[in-house]
Chain A
Amino acid sequence: MRILALSFLLAASASAQVSIPIPPPPEPILLAEMDAPGIDTAVEQSVAATVSRPGVHVVHFWAPWCGNSRAEFESGWYEVVEEREDVSFSFVTMWNDGDPAADRLARFGIPEADHVRVYGQPSGPWSRDIDERRQSFLGLPVTWTPTTWIFNRGGELAYAFNFGEVSPDMLRQALDNAAKSWDHD
């Protein structure tokens, strides 16, 4: 059935603008299988309060044992954190037995400060099975470390980088865009 539906879509998209006929519900995907959304932990409560304030807010999920997390910090994130004291940064350490590992973060040049907070999400130890390293936070899926979210407008999600690594320039651009007014209508 899926093959038939996709074949139809490909044929339709090659010819003209069309409205997609609605197929029967397929098997659910992982997004629908995440833990029940909500604000379940004290860390989530604290971060939710932070991002609901006016301004631009970064929420960054990382783990000290994660090579991508370390590579991202080594690319120069500390410069952006230092530059943007107008932005709050909430660093949430995942899959580290609840240990925030603030000392490790400080070694990457990101110590706790008025605009920098470090949390340890009680999410158990590291698992070799990547499927077991998926959960939700603030009702949104966390499926990769590192993950970076940017909030604005009193707690609305503006940008999510849920895969790979975010370079300092990408982060700067996203922060600038989140602070801009884009209203045309």
Chain B
Amino acid sequence: MTSAPPDVDAALREIVSADGVHLVHVWAPWCGNSLHELRPVWAQHHALGADSVTFVTVWNDGEDGSEVLEEHGVRGIPEVVVPGAKPEKEDRRLALLGLPMTWIPTTWVFNCGGLLAYAFGYGEVTAARLAEAVRDARSGW
């Protein structure tokens, strides 16, 4: 599995190791599943209750996805870009923060100074499920 460039991992570590609950969402502007999630989940990202939301835009020829996000009503989410062209389907695998990303879109929830609390690494996630995960990640249990 290909590892993300070290500077990408470093940028994400900086974000998720801060206090609080952090969402990292891996997506691609050319991915149908990613596009399906944008308006129902991410356009209202403040309602998810996380302390930060970061998009990792992958394999889009080094471009960010800001225009596509804008078209789908998603605003105010910073992007980290993983360079490269769209791979063949069987090659769409990437290690980010040492974690396997084998599906686009993938969403990770971090807490406790950078620990992975939840991973949604297949299909599509709903806003309700994600908000519940953020609440659970804050809970003292």
Contact = CB atoms under 8 A, between A and B. Distances in A.
A130 B127 CA distance: 31
**Range class of the B interface residue count:** 35 or more
Given A28-B13, A143-B115, A162-B115, A184 B36 contact: yes
Contacts, number: 154
Contacts of B14: 2, 5-6, 23, 26
Nearest to A25: B10
Interface string B13-46: 1111110000000000011110110000000000
Q: Most chain-A CB neighbours within 10 Å: which of B75, B115, B117, B118? A: B115
A125 interface: no
Contact of A185 (B10, B13, B33, B122): B33
B50 interface: no
Interface string A6-27: 1001001111111110111111
A56 B13 CA distance: 31
Contact of A31 (B18, B97, B141): B97
Contacts of B69: 17
Contact of B17 (A15, A26, A34, A157): A26
Contacts of B119: 157, 159-160, 162
Contact of B10 (A23, A68, A177): A23
A2 B19 CA distance: 12
Chain B at the A interface: mostly helix, strand, loop or mixed?
mixed
A26 B9 CA distance: 10
Contacts of B8: 22
A29 B13 contact: yes
A26 B11 CA distance: 8
Interface size class of A (residues with CB under 8 A): 35 or more
A159 B78 contact: no
B122 A182 contact: yes
Contacts of A178: 122-123
Interface in A131-185: 140-141, 143-144, 152-153, 156-165, 173, 177-178, 180, 182-185
Contacts of A22: 7-8, 10-11, 80
A141 B118 CA distance: 11
B74 to A, nearest CB: 8
B76 A13 contact: yes
B139 A164 contact: yes
B141 A182 contact: no
Interface in B31-81: 31-33, 35-36, 52, 54, 64, 66, 69-70, 75-81
Q: Which 5 A-B pairs have the closest CB atoms?
A: A184-B32, A29-B114, A17-B66, A158-B122, A160-B119
7 contacts: A6-B14, A19-B80, A29-B114, A152-B122, A156-B103, A158-B122, A162-B119
Given A19-B64, A163-B117, A185-B30, 7 more contacts: A23-B14, A26-B14, A30-B114, A152-B122, A156-B121, A159-B119, A185-B33
